[in-house]
């Protein structure tokens, strides 16, 4: 519950004296959630069980999504953001959610270690048939002697005062390499900022734009109709408030039976469901909502091994998020789902 409640600190209905306390909780819980996700990802990569579902994606769109998620932190630190998307072709074969995770990790790192100044995000085309993405900041920088170690797991490069286990760049590097890409980091030393560059091979073919299947296209994943299935009442209420504050239309359900009743008479764009429910399987609900409206499913679970991901896919869910859910990661997935609402699984970009 705390994981979701701390995001209400920006709500005007919250007493001002609670804002600071909620911000403290937010920083600590967000750190814990990120550490858990990072450790799970690192375990999957090391065991060779990291699953990617690739499709042709637009790097520029994923970059914009990642920047939108980081925008509140950029504004809070009063940093200047410069965006230069000069690459003529930015289409690559990639898992959209995981590639966006790469960009989010890099931008989040830049914001984290930059107290003043600017962040510059740019893309460029290369003669070798690749597209490069560079995130340059004016932050604390890294000593040259430490540059060779920054992609090692648990390596903090003496910047650990900010918290964390030093897994973010190691996972980012692994994800980039799983996409047949390359990542490099440059810094002229302490106080001189950092530049991270990712190079990815361009897709051989760019698909034609999919035909519009519903009127009034949903903008940036907002105003989506969400059926929330969570049996813990407090968590259900907190998630409902959080999603509504972010512009989603939410219908909460506390059990499978009530969710099935709601799903039989209403259409939804997304099903956000806990997997451990006392009165049945969320797969029953997934089947009903998908049949009515090609609804996309997001599973929430405290379990995060490969067999748990396979179980979610077998139930019809497109995504599997491990609790406690990092809000930035949830927002990434919700935005990605917003692009494929109302489209059959076979035609949508699977992530």
Which CATH number belongs to the domain containing residue 111 in this structure? 3.30.565.10
Q: Is residue 124 part of a domain?
A: yes
Q: Is residue 125 part of a domain?
A: yes
Residues 24-41, mean pLDDT to the nearest whole number: 58
CA separation for the pair 140, 138 (Å, rounded): 7
Note the pLDDT of residue 46: 64
Quickly state the pLDDT bin for 23 (edges 50, 70, 90): low
Q: Is residue 120 part of a domain?
A: yes
pLDDT tens for 65-104 read 889 888 888 999 999 999 999 999 999 999 887 888 899 8
Look up the pTM and report it: 0.57
Note the pLDDT of residue 183: 95
Q: Is residue 191 part of a domain?
A: yes
Q: Is residue 210 part of a domain?
A: no
Are 164 and 150 in contact by the 8 Å Cβ rule? The answer is no
Measured CA angle at 309 (ends 305, 312), to 5 deg: 140
Note the pLDDT of residue 239: 83
Measured CA angle at 287 (ends 286, 293), to 5 deg: 85
CA distances (Å), 311 to each of 106, 318, 321, in order? Answer: 31, 11, 13
Q: Is residue 274 part of a domain?
A: no
Quickly state the pLDDT bin for 222 (edges 50, 70, 90): very low
Note the pLDDT of residue 195: 95
Q: How many CB atoms lie within 10 A of CB 349?
A: 20
pLDDT for 7 beyond 80: no
Q: Is residue 84 part of a domain?
A: yes
| Contact partners, residue 302, CB within 8 Å, separation at least 6 | 276, 322, 323
Note the pLDDT of residue 217: 37
Lowest-pLDDT range, 47-56, 105-114, 135-144, 239-248? 47-56
Q: Is residue 303 part of a domain?
A: no
Which domain does 92 fall in, by range? 55-201
Q: How many domains does the chain have?
A: 1
CA separation for the pair 198, 173 (Å, rounded): 9
pLDDT for 348 beyond 60: no
The chain-wide mean pLDDT, for the chain, equals 79
pLDDT tens for 294-308 read 899 999 987 777 788
């Amino acid at each position: 519950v705390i994981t979701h409640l701390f995001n209400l600190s920006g709500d005007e209905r919250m007493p001002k004296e609670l804002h600071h306390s909620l911000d403290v909780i937010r920083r600590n819980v967000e750190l814990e959630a990120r550490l858990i996700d990072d450790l799970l990802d690192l375990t999957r990569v090391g065991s060779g069980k990291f699953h990617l579902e690739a499709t042709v994606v637009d790097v520029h769109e994923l970059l914009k999504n990642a920047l939108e998620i980081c925008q509140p932190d950029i504004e809070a630190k009063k940093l200047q953001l410069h965006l230069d998307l000069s690459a003529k072709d930015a289409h690559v074969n990639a898992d959209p959610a995981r590639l966006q995770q790469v960009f989010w990790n890099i931008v989040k790192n830049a914001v984290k270690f930059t107290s003043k100044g600017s962040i510059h995000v740019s893309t460029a085309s290369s003669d070798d048939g690749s597209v490069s993405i560079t995130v340059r900041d004016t932050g604390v920088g890294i000593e040259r002697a430490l540059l060779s170690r920054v992609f090692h797991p648990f390596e903090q490069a003496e910047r650990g005062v900010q918290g964390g286990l030093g897994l973010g760049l190691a996972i980012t590097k692994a994800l980039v390499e799983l996409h047949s890409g390359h990542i490099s980091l440059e810094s002229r030393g302490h106080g001189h900022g950092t530049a991270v560059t990712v190079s990815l091979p361009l897709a051989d073919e760019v698909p034609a734009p999919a035909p519009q299947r519903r009127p009034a296209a949903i903008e940036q994943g907002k105003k989506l109709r969400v059926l929330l299935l969570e049996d813990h009442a407090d968590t259900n209420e907190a998630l409902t408030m959080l999603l509504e504050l972010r512009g989603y239309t939410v219908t909460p359900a506390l059990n499978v039976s009530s969710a099935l009743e709601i799903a039989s008479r209403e259409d939804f764009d997304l099903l956000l469901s806990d997997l451990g429910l006392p009165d049945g399987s969320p797969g029953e609900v997934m089947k009903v909502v998908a049949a009515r409206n090609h609804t996309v499913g997001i599973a929430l679970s405290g379990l995060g091994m490969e067999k748990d991901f396979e179980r979610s896919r077998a139930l019809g869910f497109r995504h599997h998020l491990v609790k406690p859910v990092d809000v930035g990661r949830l927002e990434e997935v919700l935005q990605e789902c917003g692009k494929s609402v109302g489209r059959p699984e076979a035609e949508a970009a699977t992530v």
